[in-house]
Structure 1
Amino acid sequence: MMIGVGEIYKVVVAVAPLYTALGLGYGSVRWWHIFTPEQCEAINLLVSYLTLPFFTFEFTIHADPFSMNYQFILADVISKLVIVSILFAWAKCSSKGSYGWSITTFSLSTLTNSLVVGVPMLNAMYGPSAQDLVVQSSIFQAIVWLVLLLFVLEFRKVKIGIPTKPGVVSNQYSHVVSIDISPSSKDTAAAATTNSNDQNTNGVADHEVLIAKPSFCSLMRIIWFKLALNPNSYASIVGITWAFISNRWHFEMPSIMEGSILVMSKAGTGMAMFSMGLFMALQEKLVASGPSLMAFGMVMKFIAGPAAMAIGAIAVGLRGDVLRIAIIQAALPQSITSFIFARDYGLHADVLSTAVIFGMLVSLPVLVAYYFLFGLMS
């Protein structure tokens, strides 16, 4: 059925309030100077540690794990495996290949801001069933893909090497001082470059420097610790656990708890977008990565990601609106968590920052264009 102006207007009406909140956040800092950078940081903490986790938790507890579309989840897995395979082959076989850039490209093309933007947009396009699929995708991303991304980033630090004094080889990776990580063609030899002088800062000669190699268990402890510091991670885990229990034994949450969660959850979307506006206003340059890398990020986000999802969806037999929803949700704006990880690990944070900002700005026309084209083809 061909999509008319009325349907497109309905989508714009559903999403426009998000951009209003984003604009207010941007203007509050850049034009009206209402908030200082310190106050912006406090607002970001409010969003990160309270409103957004409650928003995620509220959607997750109402999911029904026993009626999830596991074919849809499998399509998502296949799409990411396609991208991982291509990136691994490029990093391994090409002279220009880079494991660091492979990680960044994976983030750009696969990790999305599913709930904040995806729920209102897909609900307006295809109804409540689309909203359910977006929630399922968001839960799986938080529990599986973000955990794997964090593991790969920690493993990369181990691969580069952590210099320590003689006799201070420890399995407690979090207690070892990390070297500064700078992108290189293959992300190797960085440790050697760090120790290129005859003496390190503590007066220890190079051949006396040992490389601390934490065990797998130690690595996993660090990862789980970092996830525990992110309330959005365990909001998804606790939420899906409750969803399993409540749907299996038909428990209902007490109304006083439900109301408490809901009153905080309602602030989640608006505050998240407002915080995004603050983030944009505090950047010295909106295009921190330069125009060429910005274009690369947009291609990965809005073309490569949806194309891979189309492959996965068709491979598992998705058809009709479910296929369209799968492709459109893969083109949602960049995950803010992926930028936070990139910043924390010193891996192309400028590229992810630009992707978050411009992905948010151009996502509405791009996703409406996808919606319109699918309407023409149906």
Structure 2
Amino acid sequence: MIGWEDVYKVVVAMVPLYVALILGYGSVKWWHVFTPEQCEAINRFVCFFTLPLFTFEFTAHVDPFKMNYLFIGADAISKFIIVVVLALWAKCSNKGSYCWSITSFSLSTLTNALVVGVPLMKAMYGPMGVDLVVQSSVVQAIIWLTFLLFVLEFRRTGTDFSASTRAVGDSQVISVEAGAAGKDLEGNEAINVASPSTRGPSFWSLMKMVWLKLAMNPNSYACMVGLTWAFIANRWHFKMPSIMEESILIMSKAGTGTAMFSMGKSTIYHHHHIYEKVIACGTSLTVFGMVLRFIAGPAAMAIGAIAVGLHDDVLRVAIIQAALPQSITSFIFAKEYGLHADVLSTAVIFGMIVSLPLLVAYYAILEFLH
């Protein structure tokens, strides 16, 4: 049974993150240290350096031969359920959209498993709980964050191409119409002349562009390289050389801290505008995010866990870890790709505030049902 001492351990793990958050907030709001351009540079530093090394560091130390594949299967089923529901919502509902489906996927599936999950699961279920939450972190980094990167890059590549072709098409229309008085063309004919070069790329050429961009993003392969090392190290009992270990640690240790700092400043600067409130996305979107994070995610996980036959403490760990606070990495990606970063930052900040009582409540309810 979780006690006050265990709750205190979780609080101790979370408070340093809020220190970094407040420093980031104060650096812009109170002390005016950074300009919007400098804030963007900090975000890119986090996205392309500290987070990839942080991901590699914890992935490289997992034992892939001792993973609970039923637990991983339950997680995959829960994610599949959410993807199907969001796809149907985007396709069939007037209020649905591709962009909001991406953000809703992040809000309902991606968790801060290491920072909050490890101390919490250790207090609730001991080493078994810690082992499972680390496994979920590895799978999230390898599969689901890579999937998120792919759809974000796909969206940006398609948007950039559309914007560039519209610009080219507009210039062609203007030039053709300007000469129409001498070649004797009507306006409609001018548009028809210009329209062939506004045609979009094929699906496969767009996919090729996306994969090329992903290949240049260290977040895409940091987890894959880490897992490859984990397989080799555990199969043949290799140990990472200390000089390599320390070189990775010196940057990876800054991963969560710099991410929280970046989030703190981003509550002030977002798309080069100043916000005077921490809840940048508004109350209704905040409630929407909390419902997805703490209700929809655990509900989908419960369905997946029951479907594969999980029971006892493993079932309870599966449900509770799905209700952990929002992934910090999901905010960093949202900020980098310019998609609802205010919603994700609010989900991370307030998610961590309300998560402790909610997670303890989940624990008590599941223990009572048991």
Bin of the TM-score, shorter chain as denominator length: 0.7 to 0.9
Q: Does 1:225 align with 2:225?
A: no
The aligned counterpart of 1:170 is: none
Q: How many angstroms does 1:297 deviate by?
A: 1.4
**1-structure distance, mates of 2:226, 2:298:** 28
Q: Is the 8 A contact 2:51 2:329 kept in 1?
A: no
The aligned counterpart of 1:305 is: 297
The aligned counterpart of 2:3 is: 4
Q: How many angstroms does 1:83 deviate by?
A: 1.4
Q: Is the 8 A contact 1:57 1:235 kept in 2?
A: yes
Q: How many angstroms does 1:124 deviate by?
A: 4.3
- Cα distance change on mapping 1:12 and 1:46 into 2, 3 Å: same
Q: Could you say what secondary structure the match of 1:62 adopts? A: coil
The aligned counterpart of 1:179 is: 163
Q: How many angstroms does 1:359 deviate by?
A: 2.8
The aligned counterpart of 1:251 is: 238
Any unmatched runs of 5+ in structure 2?
A: 175-189
**1-structure distance, mates of 2:265, 2:6:** 31
- Cα distance change on mapping 1:58 and 1:370 into 2, 3 Å: same
Pairwise mapping of residues 281-360 of structure 1 onto structure 2 (< 5 A)?
281-283=268-270, 284=275, 285-342=277-334, 347-360=339-352
Q: Could you say what secondary structure the match of 1:288 adopts? A: coil
2:173 maps to a residue whose letter is G
**1-structure distance, mates of 2:245, 2:156:** 42
Q: How many angstroms does 1:61 deviate by?
A: 0.9
Q: How many angstroms does 1:77 deviate by?
A: 0.7
Of 17-26 and 239-248, more deviation after overlay is shown by 17-26
Residue deviations 1:322-345, cap 9 Å, x none?
222222222233334444554566
**2-structure distance, mates of 1:49, 1:344:** 10
Kindly report the root-mean-square deviation, in angstroms, between the aligned alpha carbons of the 2 structures: 3.2
Aligned-pair identity in percent equals: 68
The aligned counterpart of 1:275 is: 262
**1-structure distance, mates of 2:43, 2:153:** 25
1:362 maps to a residue whose letter is V
TM-score (norm 2): 0.79
The aligned counterpart of 2:181 is: none
**1-structure distance, mates of 2:326, 2:214:** 19
1:53 maps to a residue whose letter is P
Q: Which has the higher helix share?
A: 2
Tell me the matched-pair count.
346
Q: How many angstroms does 1:32 deviate by?
A: 4.0
Any unmatched runs of 5+ in structure 1?
A: 163-175, 181-190
Pairwise mapping of residues 188-203 of structure 1 onto structure 2 (< 5 A)?
200-203=170-173
Pairwise mapping of residues 90-169 of structure 1 onto structure 2 (< 5 A)?
90-153=89-152
- Cα distance change on mapping 1:292 and 1:108 into 2, 3 Å: same
Q: Could you say what secondary structure the match of 2:173 adopts? A: coil
Q: Could you say what secondary structure the match of 1:51 adopts? A: helix
Q: How many angstroms does 1:300 deviate by?
A: 0.7
1:212 maps to a residue whose letter is G
Q: How many angstroms does 1:318 deviate by?
A: 1.9
**2-structure distance, mates of 1:262, 1:345:** 27
Could you say which structure has the larger radius of gyration?
A: 2
Aligned with 1:211 (options 191, 199, 210):
199
Q: Is the 8 A contact 2:13 2:116 kept in 1?
A: no
- Cα distance change on mapping 1:90 and 1:177 into 2, 3 Å: closer
The aligned counterpart of 2:177 is: none
TM-score (norm 1): 0.78
Q: Is the 8 A contact 1:63 1:132 kept in 2?
A: no
Q: How many angstroms does 1:304 deviate by?
A: 0.5
Q: Is the 8 A contact 1:51 1:268 kept in 2?
A: yes
The aligned counterpart of 2:183 is: none
The aligned counterpart of 1:184 is: none
**2-structure distance, mates of 1:31, 1:371:** 40
